[in-house]
Amino acid sequence: MGHSPLAGIIIKFRPAGERDIISNLVKERKMAAKHFWTIIAFLIVFALTGCLQNLALNTKVPRMTKEDLTSLLDNPEVIILDVRIADEWKRSDLKIKGAVHEDPEKDYRTWGSKYPKEKTLVFYCS
């Protein structure tokens, strides 16, 4: 008969001593502290994100009537941007003549660099 792979190996069990218990408690506390600070950091980021979104939502954006917009159509200092998503824009028969279509699903952060800063931008979607 072959030998067992564990033949000759003696396994000794010893009860956990005070030192082992304290060591485990210290490890658990350190782990808990790491999790605590991770959770605190997450909560801070979450709170700041909420505050910034709230600030953006509370920013007053001037609105205009159709008549106000009509009076600006021939003004060379005004750029009218149609910001409907591409599918909606393609299906629509209602488009303002001379308006530039910018798809909000694309990188809207580049819009600011496309147009001269001295021009007035009017955004619309319908």
What is the number of alpha carbons within 13 Å of residue 47 lying toward its C-beta? 6
Classify residue 47 by burial, with Cβ atoms within 10 Å: 0-12, 13-18, 19+.
exposed
Q: Which of 63, 81, 94 is nearest to 123 (CA)?
A: 81
pLDDT at 43: 67
Q: Which of 122, 2, 110, 109 is nearest to 62 (CA)?
A: 122
- Kind and range of the H or E element at 92? none
Using one digit for the tens of pLDDT, what is the confidence trace for 55-107? 556 667 778 888 988 898 999 999 999 999 889 999 999 899 899 998 888 87
Using one digit for the tens of pLDDT, what is the confidence trace for 15-24? 666 667 677 7
pLDDT band at 1; cut points 50, 70, 90: low
This prediction has a pTM of 0.51
Per domain, the residue ranges of the chain are 13-59, 66-124
| Angle at alpha carbon of residue 72, lines to 91 and 114, rounded to 5° | 65
CB atoms within 10 A of CB 122: 19
pLDDT at 30: 76
pLDDT at position 3 over 70: no
Structure tokens at 77: 């200092």
